[in-house]
Amino acid sequence: MGLAMGVIDVVTAVYPGSFDPVTNGHVDIAERASKVFGRVVVAVLNNPAKDALFTVDERTEMLATALGHLPNVEIAHFSGLLVDFARQHGAQVIVRGLRALSDFEYEFQMASVNRKIGGGIETVFMMTANEYAFLSSSMVKEVARFGGCVRGFVPDHVARRLAEKFRPAR
């Protein structure tokens, strides 16, 4: 693997998630991954079993706006097995963000399964920045649902979209 300006330029990483909605913590992980890997595919999970607030297209659009300043980051969506998506995109690495110890057990299990079925695809864990360690999409939606301010938790355009979703019908 060649190194160019500290970036592993021949490695493609996939950063998956539901991103419902994208938070500043997600943006932080994507920005940091883009500095380490030559290509990062941010992959929006389309899971029909989950009741998402935003459609896959809306989430993809919000991510594209939030991460548009990163030239080596692409936004895509998938359903099915993550390792299949990763292989289709030539990825060697899955990037996962960890907020707290409580995340680790679940992420460790997923990484182990993905390694077993993924044919050599590795998982790299990145600790979220301290200011976002408490932040989750679920928490943001709950605050927004009850009219609370989510500025500082999500990019500004996402805060506006949340306000629109939860605006009382007239």
**Choice among 26, 96, 141, 161 that is catalytic:** 26
What is the pTM assigned to this prediction? 0.91
Q: Which residue range(s) make up the domain with 160?
A: 3-166
Tokens standing for residue 4: 């160019």
- pLDDT at position 118 is 83
Which pLDDT tens digit goes with each residue over 114-148? 988 888 899 999 999 999 988 999 999 999 999 99
* Contact (Cβ atoms closer than 8 angstroms) between residue 23 and residue 54: no
> In this structure, what are the phi and psi dihedrals at residue 26, rounded to the nearest 5 degrees?
-65, -45
Q: How many domains does the chain have?
A: 1
pLDDT band at 3 (very low <50, low <70, confident <90, very high): very low
Domain containing 65 — which CATH number? 3.40.50.620
160 is catalytic: no
50 is catalytic: yes
**Choice among 59, 96, 137, 141 that is catalytic:** 137
**Average pLDDT taken over every residue of the chain:** 91
- pLDDT at position 99 is 87
**Choice among 32, 87, 99, 115 that is catalytic:** 99
